Amino acid sequence: MVISWTNLGSRPSKEIVCGYCNAHLQSEKGYDGKHKPTGKHVSLYYCHKCGRLNYFDENGEQFPGPIIGDEVLDVTDETVSKLYAESRKCCSTNSYTGSVLCSRKLLMNIAVSKGAKEGLSFAEYVKFLSDKNYVPPGGEEWVDHIRQKGNEATHEIIIMKKEDAEELIIFLEMLLKFIYEFPNRMKRKILPQ
C-alpha cells in the first residue's frame, strides 16, 4: 500500500511514549500521510529524545508501541538482561506470545544465574528460586502464573494477549529488582567507589 506523506514539521501536538527509547513527550513534529487509494489518514510523530519517527495507523495504533516495564539496573548476568529486554521489545511489536515465552525462559535463566544446575525441569527451577528466597513473600502465585502462561504459549494452539505479556513483564521487573538491583544499590551506598 502506498502512502503519500505531507506536512513535514509543525502539526497538532500529540502526547506519545516513544516506541524506541520510551521517552514520554509532547510531539508537534512529524508527517501526515494518506493511503492511496483508500484515503485513510496515518501519521508519523518525531521523538525529540532519540530522533526516530513513531508511526500511528488509521486507527491511532502506534508502531512500535511503547516498551512495557522499566529497565533494571545491576543485572549481573548478560543472558538474563537480554531476555528481559527481548520480552519487553516483543510487546512493543505486538508479539505477545513471544514475550510470554521469553518471560518463562527468563525465570529459568535467573535460577541458573543464581546457582541452579542447567538442564533441570521448569518446576525445579521455580522450586530453586523459592527455596533460596529469591521469590518474595506472596510471589509464588506469580511464578506459577508465569509457568501456566508459558505452558499455554508452548503447548497449546493459542495466541497470548497483550494483558498476558504485560503482567508477566511487570512481575519480572519487580523480581529482577528484588534479586539484582536493590541489593547492589545498597552495596553502592555502603561501599562508595
Distances in Å between the Cα of 147 and the Cα atoms of 58, 106, 110, 125 are: 37, 11, 14, 11
| 140 vs 63, more confident | 63
In this prediction, residues 27-43 reach a mean pLDDT of 88
The predicted model scores a pTM of: 0.82
Q: Where are the domains of the chain?
A: 2-63, 78-190
So what's the pLDDT on residue 152?
83
CATH number of 78-190: 1.20.120
In this prediction, residues 135-162 reach a mean pLDDT of 83
Report the chain's mean pLDDT, rounded to a whole number.
Answer: 89
Cα–Cα distance measured from residue 84 to residue 44, given in angstroms and rounded to the nearest whole number:
28
Contact between 170 and 89 (Cβ < 8 Å): no
Banded pLDDT at 191 (limits 50, 70, 90): low
150-164 pLDDT per residue, tens: 878 877 888 999 999
